């Protein structure tokens, strides 16, 4: 028989957004549980060094993750290592998170901060050298490659735009694309082709990422998409931008989203499902950084507390803002 546990707030995902939301929910004296399938940290655990989070000029990703978790726990947030299979709003208005362990978590409001997953190349060396030359974030890691020769993989807006951005640091940027034309917008392509630091390698795939004796990336094995001939490309970094998939598939019922699956929210992080808030990489926004995730988590938790207060005092209706959200 399944075990059922009741809370005021369920938070799905223990990245920066989820842990910040947990801290603020705890400060509001709400009984809060954070459900995370692995170790707390999200994409922080895939980033070796962080230098763009205020107050920390230089900190390792895992260490910052531990600080986030410890701070949230200090205010009473509970963390459970659980894989959420579905998150749905039940007929009685409560939210129910069903996990693969069979445990059911119920709450009055829910915050989804399950992040997103960069699409991988799936080649040898990619996973092994993540954070040691392999990156999925130019803004996060570009400064570590000052004066280096690097490669960018992809052909869409993200790849073309980030290749141009990375020339601020790198001496030389190769943009490797498997086809003979880009999908990126024309204005981005124009800027790219006018940049003397960028060389485009067409009709080419990456077969392998290789590292030196210290475990740092130093070479890529490339394969011609037409002739299948292989060659080496000396590079100390590889930035992969072939797509990003938000982890929103657990939501049962329709939540408004864009064509890529990112959740649309109002200014208070509330989705089109009343009482379901979203924060961090799962929602539509301009940029996805640790700082923006933490800001989203703050807003979501405070808005959730206002939502619960309105449930307790129906005569005290909060001001409606945007697409059905509650003003903070």
Provide the residue ranges of all domains of the chain, joining segments of one domain with +. Answer: 4-117+244-326, 134-240
pLDDT of residue 326: 37
Contacts of 103 (CB under 8 A, 6+ apart): 2, 3, 4, 5, 82
Q: Please say whether the beta carbons of 115 and 102 come within 8 A.
A: no
Report, in angstroms and rounded to the nearest whole number, the Rg of the chain calculated over CA atoms: 22
Share of the chain above pLDDT 70, in %: 94
pLDDT of residue 47: 73
Confidence tier at 319 by pLDDT (50, 70, 90): very low
Q: Please say whether the beta carbons of 324 and 269 come within 8 A.
A: no
**Strand 78-81 to 149-153 pairing:** unpaired
Mean pLDDT of 265-287: 95
Question: Per residue in 71-108, pLDDT tens?
Answer: 999 999 999 999 999 999 999 999 999 999 999 999 99
Q: How many whole angstroms separate alpha carbon 235 and alpha carbon 217?
A: 7
Task: List C-alpha distances in Å: 74 to 19, 61, 70, 78, 141.
Answer: 12, 20, 6, 10, 31
- pLDDT of 317 strictly over 90: no
Confidence tier at 314 by pLDDT (50, 70, 90): low
Q: How many whole angstroms separate alpha carbon 263 and alpha carbon 281?
A: 9
Same fold, 4-117+244-326 and 134-240: yes
Q: Please say whether the beta carbons of 319 and 56 come within 8 A.
A: no
pLDDT of residue 301: 98
Question: Per residue in 28-43, pLDDT tens?
Answer: 999 999 999 999 998 8
- pTM of the full structure: 0.75
**Strand 198-201 to 78-81 pairing:** unpaired
- pLDDT of 315 strictly over 70: no
Chain mean pLDDT for the chain: 92
Confidence tier at 325 by pLDDT (50, 70, 90): very low
Region of poorest pLDDT, from 27-31, 140-144, 223-227, 280-284: 140-144
Q: How many whole angstroms separate alpha carbon 24 and alpha carbon 17?
A: 11
- pLDDT of 322 strictly over 60: no
- pLDDT of 56 strictly over 50: yes
Higher pLDDT, 246 or 316: 246
| Catalytic sites, residue numbers | 137, 140-141
pLDDT of residue 90: 96
- pLDDT of 311 strictly over 80: yes
Q: How many whole angstroms separate alpha carbon 221 and alpha carbon 2?
A: 50
Mean pLDDT of 19-36: 97
Q: Which CATH superfamily is domain 134-240 in?
A: FAD/NAD(P)-binding domain (3.50.50.60)
Task: List C-alpha distances in Å: 210 to 40, 48, 270, 293.
Answer: 29, 18, 44, 33
pLDDT of residue 320: 39
290 closest CA partner among 167, 140, 150, 110: 140
Q: How many whole angstroms separate alpha carbon 318 and alpha carbon 327?
A: 6
Confidence tier at 1 by pLDDT (50, 70, 90): low
pLDDT of residue 34: 98
CATH 3.50.50.60 fits 4-117+244-326, yes or no: yes
């Amino acid at each position: 028989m399944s075990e059922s546990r009741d809370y005021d707030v369920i938070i799905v995902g223990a990245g920066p957004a989820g842990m910040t939301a947990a801290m603020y929910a705890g400060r509001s004296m709400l009984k809060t549980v954070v459900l995370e399938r692995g170790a707390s940290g999200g994409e922080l655990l895939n980033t070796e060094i962080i230098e763009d989070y205020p107050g920390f000029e230089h900190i390792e990703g895992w260490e910052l993750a531990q600080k986030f978790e410890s701070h949230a726990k200090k205010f009473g947030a509970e963390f459970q290592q659980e894989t959420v299979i579905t998150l749905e709003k039940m007929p009685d208005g409560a939210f129910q998170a069903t996990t693969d362990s069979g445990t059911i978590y119920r709450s009055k409001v829910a915050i989804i901060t399950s992040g997103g997953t960069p699409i991988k190349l799936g080649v040898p060396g990619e996973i092994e050298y993540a954070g040691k030359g392999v990156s999925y974030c130019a803004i996060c890691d570009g400064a570590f490659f000052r004066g280096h020769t690097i490669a960018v993989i992809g052909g869409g807006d993200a790849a073309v735009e980030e290749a141009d951005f990375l020339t601020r640091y790198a001496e030389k940027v190769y943009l490797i694309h498997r086809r003979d034309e880009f999908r990126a917008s024309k204005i981005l392509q124009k800027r790219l082709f006018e940049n003397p630091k960028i060389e485009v390698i067409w009709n080419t795939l990456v077969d392998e990422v290789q590292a030196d004796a210290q475990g740092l990336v130093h070479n890529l094995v490339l394969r011609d998409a037409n002739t299948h001939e292989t060659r080496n490309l000396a590079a100390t970094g590889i930035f992969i931008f072939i797509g990003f998939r938000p982890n929103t598939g657990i939501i049962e019922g329709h939540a408004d989203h864009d064509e890529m699956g990112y959740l649309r929210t109002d200014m208070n992080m509330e989705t089109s499902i009343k009482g379901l808030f979203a924060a961090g990489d799962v929602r539509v926004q301009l940029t996805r950084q640790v700082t923006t995730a933490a800001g989203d988590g703050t807003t979501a938790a405070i808005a959730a507390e206002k939502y619960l207060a309105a449930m307790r005092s129906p005569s005290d209706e909060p001001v409606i803002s945007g697409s059905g959200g509650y003003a903070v």
